[in-house]
């Protein structure tokens, strides 16, 4: 007889199976074919993706992945696995698993395995503090396609425990040097998504404001920007690269970057920031370019993941709600 228990599925974006061109191409094709990510009509986008984007972008992305690849694989996958193990230790009566929106293990597959193992109430926790259709849309679609009832936690940027944790990390790093500016750099999305009602910009602004209240550093030094722009369409501004160049031109040559969109090191934090944006800042006259490390499966963050899962399940049990308000 199956033993019924609570389940928790941590969901991250995903990663290529290896930094080889063929695996990077397969990953990019799956990722960029998701209409939650690229909203252009398929008849227009697919020929462009297959004929231009993938042939030109694959080798470049593969080079970046090779630079950051570790003995245990992709940092994003490695840290997600560590989070899963640590949260499982904190929730011994739960079944804690992880899945990826793109790549393996697949969300639907994991949910069915959990259900077959006897999990009678499953919490799905996307590892993205702010909600946006481009990250959560694919997750929600795959969860619904499984046919399994779940509680989906849509965001956690507004949790005081998370805000204090992020503020503590920033303060710890800020004390080490004399910084002119602290830049909250979020992953950008096309401005068209905001016009269509996506709450991401609002949630990013609220994250910055809430975390800043807990910071011990001078609040006037906090700035906000967006990174990782892709394609010719306008994305959320100000762009991080432009902000870095402007700060250097103004004589503000010591900056500290914090990336609240990312809970683990990945291509955007390791390659884009620590290499490309660092080089841009230095070439513009900047001197010190440091970054606050992401949560990276820290004990305190794994405590938070366990706490929020238990808390939100308690809030919804008995009322039939399948999604956090």
Residues tagged in the binding site annotation: 187, 268
Contact 268, 225 (CB under 8 A): no
DSSP state of 120: E
- Beta strands of 175-306 (E only): which ranges? 181-187, 222-227, 254-258, 288-291
Q: Is the peptide bond between 103 and the residue preceding it cis, with omega within 30 degrees of 0?
A: no
Handedness of CA 138, 141, 142, 143 (dihedral sign): positive
Exposed/middle/buried for residue 71 (C-beta within 10 Å: 0-12, 13-18, 19+)? exposed
Q: C-alpha angle with apex 273: 20 to 46, nearest 5 degrees? A: 50
CB 27 within 8 A of CB 73: no
Which residues participate in the annotated binding site for Fe(2+)?
A: 187, 268
């Amino acid at each position: 007889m199956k033993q019924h228990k609570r389940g928790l599925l941590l969901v991250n974006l995903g990663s290529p199976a290896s930094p080889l061109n063929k695996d990077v191409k397969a990953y990019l094709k799956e990722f960029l074919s998701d209409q939650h990510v690229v909203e252009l009509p398929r008849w227009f986008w697919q020929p462009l993706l297959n004929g231009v984007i993938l042939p030109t972008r694959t080798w470049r992305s593969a080079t970046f992945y090779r630079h950051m690849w570790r003995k245990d694989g992709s940092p994003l996958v490695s840290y997600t696995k560590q989070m899963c193990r640590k949260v499982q230790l904190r929730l011994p009566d739960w079944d804690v698993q992880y899945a990826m929106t793109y790549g393996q293990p697949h969300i639907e597959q994991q949910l069915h395995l959990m259900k077959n193992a006897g999990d009678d109430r499953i919490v799905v926790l996307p590892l993205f503090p702010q909600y946006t259709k481009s990250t959560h849309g694919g997750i929600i679609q795959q969860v619904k396609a499984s046919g399994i009832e779940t509680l989906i936690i849509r965001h956690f940027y507004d949790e005081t425990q998370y805000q204090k944790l992020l503020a503590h990390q920033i303060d710890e790093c800020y004390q080490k040097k004399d910084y002119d500016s602290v830049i909250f750099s979020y992953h950008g999305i096309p401005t068209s998504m905001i016009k269509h009602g996506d709450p991401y910009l609002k949630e990013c602004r609220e994250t910055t404001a809430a975390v800043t209240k807990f910071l011990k550093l001078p609040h006037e030094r906090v700035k906000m920007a967006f990174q990782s722009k892709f394609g010719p369409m306008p994305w959320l501004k100000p762009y991080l690269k432009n902000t870095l160049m402007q700060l250097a031109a103004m004589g503000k040559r010591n900056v500290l970057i914090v990336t609240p969109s990312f809970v683990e090191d990945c291509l955007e934090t390791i390659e884009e920031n620590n290499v490309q944006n660092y080089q841009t800042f230095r070439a513009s006259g900047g001197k010190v370019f440091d970054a606050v490390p992401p949560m990276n499966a820290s004990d305190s963050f794994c405590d938070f993941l366990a706490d929020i899962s238990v808390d939100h399940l308690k809030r919804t049990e008995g009322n039939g709600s399948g999604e956090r308000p």
